[in-house]
């Protein structure tokens, strides 16, 4: 069964029922019921409203919130302090102890505190970090961390497009199905400016290959069914065809092999049979690829799952892909978010960047080339 046969299937149909991850859902439901129940009242519809509040967060987010809240609540019990509502001085002591123990990185402290704000808001209280003291504590956290290591802390930098090019080469020559899955997943993740968990949750039915395009739909977000309309888009094929387009040629071959081996159109495309990759699968794939390639980041930089996302945005920008195009694929509200948080404008164009992202320039005729006219549009 060739990949093109998927065009006759109905990828727009209802997504398959996915086994729920081992969930923190019951505990999170109780947390919402306990705290939101205090201020929402008991009139008609409130019980359902509390259920809707719980359902607003993915299982992965619920686990993160619960773990953070458990640690904060334990601190408050030990120090005989009130956890909810927490006074800003309680938050100050907690930040101080966390810094002393080194259990939370400086770059993560902002998001860590925002979790406390969310619990307070669910309970109907003002967020404790609205006071300026917690914000200044965070700045001090960053400064002392930098002083402690004698330099600015490492930052998460963009992954070079050359890594993706090498991954395509690995995939073409790979003999084991397990590793081909990883390489193919990373290639697709790069081509779609990977939303968190988007490539990991992709099914065979979500990809339709034609001579001119790869049509992709994203039915899942963070490995759970999307709450809004599906995102679907077209990835152009090189004007000279798949033979001149190594990333898509490899990806099409992988999908064909998946179907030939009896893979179900509604099964996860990049997981072992019967398995469902979690939202952090792409980060795990990237670690495997970097270890296999023996690649390491420059001094002062570290690579993580976000590096793939920022790397493809920066590489696309370097060769002239308009920022609004990258923002649309990344599903940002506007190009300002993409430009500020994902694009390193100092990145220089490369042949690998052209190979992957030249397809998104409407007047491009080949890679790399000094003249860009005629082609993909």
In this structure, the answer to whether residues 190 and 293 fall within a common structural domain is yes
* 3-class state of residue 367 by DSSP: coil
Please give the backbone phi and psi of residue 302, each rounded to the nearest 5 degrees, phi first: -130, 155
pLDDT at 374: 32
Q: How many domains does the chain have?
A: 2
Residue 111 pLDDT greater than 70, yes or no: yes
Higher pLDDT, 183 or 59: 183
Question: Picking from 113-117, 192-196, 259-263, which range would have the lowest pLDDT averaged per residue?
Answer: 192-196
Other residues' Cβ atoms within 10 Å of the Cβ of residue 190: 26
In this structure, the answer to whether residues 130 and 200 fall within a common structural domain is no
Distance CA 193, CA 359 (A): 13
Higher pLDDT, 80 or 129: 80
User: pTM to 2 decimals?
Assistant: 0.68
Distance CA 373, CA 166 (A): 28
In this structure, the answer to whether residues 141 and 242 fall within a common structural domain is no
In this structure, the answer to whether residues 103 and 240 fall within a common structural domain is no
Domain CATH number, residue 169: 1.10.443.10
Tens-place pLDDT, residues 20-74: 444 456 777 777 777 776 677 777 787 787 778 777 777 777 888 888 888 888 9
pLDDT at 215: 92
In this structure, the answer to whether residues 59 and 148 fall within a common structural domain is yes
Residue 208 pLDDT greater than 90, yes or no: yes
Distance CA 13, CA 15 (A): 6
Residue 17 pLDDT greater than 70, yes or no: no
Q: Is residue 197 part of a domain?
A: yes
Contacts with 265 (C-beta within 8 Å, 6 or more apart), sequence order: 6, 9, 11, 203, 204, 205, 259
Q: Which of 162, 180, 225, 171 is nearest to 198 (CA)?
A: 225
pLDDT at 362: 63
For tokens 């899955």, what's the residue?
181
In this structure, the answer to whether residues 168 and 115 fall within a common structural domain is no
Higher pLDDT, 344 or 198: 344
For tokens 């077209």, what's the residue?
234
| DSSP-derived secondary structure letter, 359 | G
Tens-place pLDDT, residues 140-175: 887 787 676 655 667 888 999 999 999 998 888 877
Domain holding 187, by residue range, is: 158-360
Q: Could you tell me which residues are beta bridge partners of residue 302?
A: 156
In this structure, the answer to whether residues 176 and 78 fall within a common structural domain is no
Rounded mean pLDDT of 332-357? 90
Question: Picking from 121-135, 320-334, 358-372, which range would have the lowest pLDDT averaged per residue?
Answer: 358-372
């Amino acid at each position: 069964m060739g990949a093109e046969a998927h065009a006759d299937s109905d990828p727009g149909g209802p997504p398959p029922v996915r086994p729920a991850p081992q969930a923190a859902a019951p505990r999170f439901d109780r947390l919402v019921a306990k705290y939101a129940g205090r201020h929402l009242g008991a009139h008609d519809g409130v019980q359902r409203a509390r259920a809707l509040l719980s359902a607003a967060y993915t299982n992965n987010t619920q686990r993160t919130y619960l773990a953070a809240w458990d640690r904060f609540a334990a601190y408050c019990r030990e120090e005989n302090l009130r956890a909810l509502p927490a006074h800003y001085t309680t938050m100050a002591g907690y930040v101080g102890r966390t810094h002393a123990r080194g259990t939370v990185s400086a770059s993560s402290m902002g998001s860590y505190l925002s979790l406390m704000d969310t619990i307070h808001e669910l309970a109907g209280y003002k967020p404790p970090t609205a006071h300026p003291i917690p914000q200044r504590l965070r700045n001090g956290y960053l400064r002392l961390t930098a002083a402690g290591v004698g330099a600015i802390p490492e930052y998460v930098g963009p992954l070079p497009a050359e890594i993706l090019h090498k991954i395509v080469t690995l995939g073409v020559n790979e003999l084991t199905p397990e590793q081909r899955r990883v390489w193919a997943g990373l290639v697709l993740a790069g081509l779609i400016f990977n939303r968190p968990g988007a490539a990991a949750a992709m099914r065979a039915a979500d990809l339709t290959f034609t001579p001119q395009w790869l049509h992709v739909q994203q039915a899942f977000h963070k490995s759970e069914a999307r709450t809004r309309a599906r995102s679907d888009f077209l990835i152009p094929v090189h004007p000279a065809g798949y033979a001149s387009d190594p990333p898509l040629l490899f990806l099409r071959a992988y999908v064909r092999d998946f179907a030939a081996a009896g893979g179900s159109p509604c099964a996860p495309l990049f997981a072992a049979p019967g398995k469902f990759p979690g939202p952090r699968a792409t980060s795990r794939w990237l670690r495997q690829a970097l270890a296999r390639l023996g690649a390491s980041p420059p001094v002062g930089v570290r690579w993580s799952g976000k590096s793939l996302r920022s790397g493809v945005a920066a590489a696309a920008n370097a060769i002239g892909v308009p920022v609004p195009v990258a923002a649309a694929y990344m599903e940002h509200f506007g190009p300002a978010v993409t430009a500020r948080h994902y694009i390193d404008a100092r990145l220089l164009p490369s042949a690998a960047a052209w190979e992957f992202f030249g397809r998104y320039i409407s007047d491009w005729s080949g890679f790399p080339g000094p003249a860009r006219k005629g082609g993909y549009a």
